[in-house]
Structure 1
């Protein structure tokens, strides 16, 4: 695809994602806080229904021949071709509880690689975007990962890929957090992963790692961090791909030390 076509597609994607974000913003704080799990699940479904249809139609129209990845909680590689991987309410739980930390995201995956991403954060009025080889931006301003080199000064984060993770993944999460509590300045555990990766790309957070590979929460953030100058690998140091079992994003100067701190946890998933 030519540069002009990429620019036009990015413009259309931004328009679609921001429109979806405005729909979600209009719903923010309009319903009682969920009191039960059933309330929460119903609210999640209602938010998704309010946003997803229009977002899907706009993105598919913007790139004829592209396809829509239906399950935002899915893992693993996608078939060849152009696929939209989107989350119409990233951080839905936060939205329903009246908290910040939610967004609308859409990432174009071409033959297994994220090549374009847009993330709208309506509460702050920020739109993050990246195209492969063109840099990462927020509202048109370039992003750059942290310049830190000392792991002892690092602020790092992780979170659940999904509720109800398998026991080996839960065990690895706990051990990883313990290891980094010993070696970094601060460790935070939060969801959703996309909002944490935005902070890594913007240099507000030094690193993010995750066990598990729900792709909708990682793919756009991986592209954003890479285009902001960061390294994105699995927890063995191999280049992260859609089917990788775990994830690490960090500035190049910090990545080896963080990998070393996490390496003793890999046997829990062997």
Structure 2
């Protein structure tokens, strides 16, 4: 079981060492833009490291959108970030489930499928795309698990992976008790856990992460999800090195990792 943190992209391996982390996650470009990643001087070090690397796609990426000015650049951005992530030896590219601009979620699921079809026509994806559940929005493709099932009907055959965020699930209105079994019944897999506490209450729709034990989630439920999934875990929590180091230590101690 590998446990790590979302870190600043400048020197991820140094950030991992400072936290006692076995895995890191970071952005390859401004998460609020459509900018393409730049080549990294530390690519060889990252590939050779025994630290597991995961890349988070920009927040702006929304392949489910029914707005052509968002969806089409998002498809292209998915490919450029996937290729850049593969170049540094990343184990997966995490992408939020996205949302549609109106009430027709069926269009969003169809657009997700088209994104994978587009990728296949463009040479194929060089690493797993890990779709992440989200906390808010009534037109979200991966907030409620009934919608997640519809999404997986559209993309499951393309080998899509899944990233379970505990804060997003809780704030999105999904009970954390037995959550791994419910997710695996839909997706067949969990590739990564985002192990986060939640500042917002259950079903609040608030995407506000907190340090483990400081928010509204019983830390034992987060630990139980990690144990049941057997997946690596990344904390996306506040407090910098000290806050995340404490969260990693808590997870390691209670999970027996």
Question: Highest Rg: 1 or 2?
Answer: 1
If the length of structure 2 is used for normalisation, what is the TM-score? 0.30
If the length of structure 1 is used for normalisation, what is the TM-score? 0.29
